[in-house]
Structure 1
């Protein structure tokens, strides 16, 4: 499929570079840049969910294996399982913008979307990116068609976030023809009906490695279904491996390279999870807006009440920001991965390098997306009142289903530690000029005094606030590095606050870039709404960045040193107040009128 409509610039955008340099809106992909072909893919996904999945909603939620597999095969016939698989192995080889659109649109399918997402993402992608040519030819056509369903097996009863603490072992037989794999995996999505398992085990108890294990191998035992809070229509079982003989050729990539596969597939999984959260946010918002127009209290629809409208506006703003982040990141991943020929030898290493380049952005999407959905779902229940607590209303299920996303694919706590930790590692390797920027900033701050007159240029003050937020992050982060050096990894509270600053910066910049791009493209109503949402988010997130920095500084300094740092922070934080009530009323007016997510 051609990706010419979403072409990224020749200049490579470094992962994590957004904290030290400003992006150009022309270099970033947003939903408004979708080609006609990509929009058709989105429509195909929508139609499949509406006509084939939602019509069997109750049966899927009752955990009907046979129906789920039947629907997965139907999705395979439509090409929805083949999007990420190269054409030479029976797939469609679509760009990452298209596959992101599919992930987003699948979300209305609730539990089914999880079954499909686990299959096409963490289940299939290890073979797509890291399999040998022979492994790809043997397995990918079956996975792309839905003839076989895949599952991903990393978590164990005693190791969740500490993936490398796995106890499952693999021992090569004396004749070298096979490995004996023994251990137990926990919380495995699709385990009840999967034909193929991507399993992580330590060769000789030491080298963390990845294996492709087929269901019909002797010693593969599927445990009972877990009784879950939400996502009840998806299969979640333990997998027991009792001295399973796995052919040596089913080792994925090389022994000892399992961590590179696991962490990079998790990066893609985190990003795809954010795309799914985006779709769920849109559905929850539409349900809430429609209900608010129908529900009468005190002789008028509750949608007419300002506090309900403010909720709807805030739900829409977070969804807009998430959408801007997700498609921006899809463009980055697409540019990094599209240059790799997956048929070539060594493509696994190239793919690992390309994916890991944007590990920070993938974690940021995961944290922001999962927490945005929790917020939107929670407010959706609140707008429904008592009816939001009743299973007859879908908002109740969205609320329950959303909670797992903050645990899936690495907890949000782990991801918050990874975000600044990865940034520092990239800087230490010379991949980002972070230290040079820190030195320049320290000399600049001594005499710096920002002006508060921004002229009449649209979003000029918001652009200034974004620049100041980056300076605040660098100032705070630089002080943390100087004070703690390598011991900084033990200061988890500071790392989490630095992560939240980075998340706010990436989110604000994504929204701002998109609003500017829409202004350039014309379309007055859409551009005005986007500008209002970007402005509201930038001002509110800037206040959050200032508060996070103040907390960090107060935990690192005291006395005169603290007062000096806080006076610098005060200079960087100078801003004009904005009428958020007016901005949010403007946004809410459109949401109430259209009963859906709006831009």
Structure 2
């Protein structure tokens, strides 16, 4: 069946429209080609990356470069690149899948891979002229050259557009001279090309440039020493200094002053792919933890048999399953939106740009949720290992250190939290997402008399889906009242935005988990999905608690008197189960399955 525009929800519309489980893509929907690619990436990881972890931890940057070259030879660097420029031109889901499974061996390698294939290559693919693409993309797609991305400066981190690096046109108008300093530049030690952002004269916005780098002829470029970092130790990270670096005018990327837009759109793609890059780490950490827990005995009993450890294993497995459900749901939405635009006559560049931009809210949601889940997973992994978890001789401490950066790069989680709510409000103002209508209905519901009828929850997930609908009402109630109160000044109330974003995040991840599980129950049968059902219910239960806490904080922060009482009563009504799930039993069921399989097995 052909996909029509009506079938695909626009970005952010998940909040106000119900999604049918048959309309979501899940990892169980992978094509044969995608399964083959997944197996090839896992095989590469098991052969080249994981056995050599000590070399990565010893900061062997030459070895990172050599592994990147092998990844290029196997086609992994060109998965997202059009065939016309030497790539495989696979869909967005396949590019996510490669990011997912290549990232489990070590955060060092996945950072090098992500920086090159994402922010090092993508800006040229999406914004380059035909000549620029023909000249550079084939080299980047095959691993002949490696790319890096020079945006951050000592005084310009989250405020990327405030950079001080300058680009000055030459007297003959044929070149620019770039002067300035960039920091935290991944792949700087072995790159051949840099995407550099600089300001021309007193332009409001920065401009992007493609800058070649040759160690033998550095053209005014000098590199700082390798940074000594908490984690991702084999990822080459250096400062880059530009001193009258000459760049031909034809190497300007897109138009003058378009750099900030390039940077933001590159980050949208980077955010969802970073979420994917945290997934297999969670699976492997969970597997390593359960294998240790079944072997380690205390009081003559494997620690995996203790309830306190079962809680950890169940929550670790659940967060991995949920993050995976949400990531591939969004990835397929993006892929379908790109296909629609191409069918409508858009170029590959325009279609991909607009396709990803449409789901910028979901990209930010996923970046925050999954980066925090992988850190929690590694933290619990250390705890299960006990004292051994703190030792460099076991894999957990490196996993924990590598995970820590994920909450910082591609925009800090604080920035992304505020972005996802801010973007949603802007979409509503443009008429792309109708928030006003549903928010008004929630307001009317609060003023009306609640129904005292007991709903019929006889069907699987009927209460859970009703609960998701009620959580959406919480967001609409809180955000609607906050927008009414603060209007355009809402962005000044950062604590309120952070709380609202946590509600939004939990809604998206919980709904994605339930929809995936419901779809698989329909096609594989309930018996085969018993533990997945338990994980969907467990995730939702945890989500409801988070929504309740953040909803209460928000309401108390901006409402008082009768309004506050009414909103708090509404919150209480919207987070109340009719039939509370037995969380202890659910966790036990999930943990027993993981223990029996001796690995993450979903």
Q: Give the TM-score of the pair, scaled to structure 1.
A: 0.96
Measured against aligned partners, the alpha-carbon deviations of 1:115-152 in whole angstroms (never above 9, x if no partner) come to: 11211111111111111111110001100110000011
2:436 equivalent in structure 1: 435
Distance 1:255 1:503 in 2: 36
Change (3 A) 1:82 1:7: farther
Give the corresponding residue for 2:587: 584
CA distance in structure 1 between the aligned counterparts of 2:341 and 2:67, rounded to whole angstroms = 32
Q: What is residue 494 of structure 1 aligned with on the other side? A: 496
1:559 aligns with 2:561: yes
Question: What per-residue deviation string (whole Å, max 9, x for no partner) do you get for residues 141-176 of structure 1?
Answer: 100110000011111011110001111111122222
Equivalent positions of 1:372-383 (< 5 A) are 372-383=373-384
Q: Are 1:194 and 2:188 matched, yes or no? A: no
Q: Pick from 116, 125, 130: which aligns with 1:128?
A: 125
CA distance in 2, matches of 1:188, 1:379: 31
| Mapped pair 1:26 → 2:28 | no
> C-alpha displacement at 1:593, in angstroms?
1.1
- Which residue does the alignment assign to 1:209? 207
CA distance in 2, matches of 1:354, 1:169: 32
2:331 is matched with which residue?
330
Q: Equivalent residue of 1:164, what SS?
A: helix
Matched ranges for 1:73-222 at <5 A: 73-110=69-106, 111-206=108-203, 207-216=205-214, 217-222=218-223
Structure 1 residue runs of 4 or more that deviate by more than 4 Å after TM superposition: 6-10, 339-342, 344-350
Please point out which of 549, 556, 567 is paired with 2:551: 549
Q: Deviations over 1:383-436 (max 9, x none)?
A: 000000000101110011111111011100001110110001111111111112
Q: Residues 410 and 8 (structure 1 numbering): CA distance in 2 closer, same or farther, change over 3 Å?
A: farther
Take 2:206 and 2:347, find their aligned partners in 1: how far apart are those partners?
Answer: 19
- Residue by residue over 1:314-354, the C-alpha shift from the partner in whole angstroms, topping out at 9 and shown as x without a partner, is 11111111000110111111112234569x99764554332
1:118-517 correspondence to structure 2 within 5 Å: 118-206=115-203, 207-216=205-214, 217-339=218-340, 348-447=349-448, 449=450, 451-517=453-519
CA shift at 1:240, angstroms?
0.6
Give the SS at the match of 2:119. Answer: helix
Report how far residue 444 of structure 1 moved.
Answer: 3.0
Aligned-residue CA RMSD in angstroms? 1.8
| Conserved? CA contact 1:95–1:338, under 8 Å | no
Using the TM superposition, give the Cα deviation of residue 34 of structure 1 relative to its aligned residue in structure 2, in angstroms.
Answer: 0.3
- The 3-state SS of whatever aligns with 1:245 is strand
Alpha carbons 1:270, 1:409 under 8 Å: kept = yes
Rounded to whole Å, the distance in 2 between the matches of 1:166 and 1:596 is 47
Q: Is the 8 A contact 1:153 1:188 kept in 2?
A: yes
Question: Bigger shift: 344-353 or 53-62?
Answer: 344-353
Quick check: 198-207 or 316-325, which moved more? 198-207
Q: Residue 322 of structure 2 contacts residue 510 of structure 2 at CA under 8 Å; is this kept in 1?
A: yes
| Cα 1:131/1:239, change in 2 over 3 Å | same
Q: 1:15 aligns with which of 11, 14, 18?
A: 11
| Partner SS state of residue 182, structure 1 | strand
3-state SS of 2:533 partner: helix
Conserved? CA contact 2:271–2:366, under 8 Å: yes
Q: Distance in 2 between matches of 1:588 and 1:567?
A: 36
C-alpha separation between the residues in 1 aligned to 2:339 and 2:56?
Answer: 36
- Residue deviations 1:427-455, cap 9 Å, x none? 11111111122223222332252554333
Say which SS state the counterpart of residue 471 (structure 1) adopts.
Answer: helix
Tell me, in whole angstroms, the C-alpha distance in 2 between the residues paired with 1:152 and 1:430: 34
TM-score scaled by length of structure 2: 0.96
Aligned mate of 1:66, from 51, 62, 66: 62
Shift of 1:598: 2.8
Deviates more, 1:63-72 or 1:291-300: 63-72
Q: For residues 47-77 of structure 1, give each alpha carbon's deviation from its aligned partner in whole angstroms, at most 9, with x where no partner exists.
A: 1111122233222322223222221111111
Aligned residues: 594
The structural deviation recorded for 1:463 is 0.6
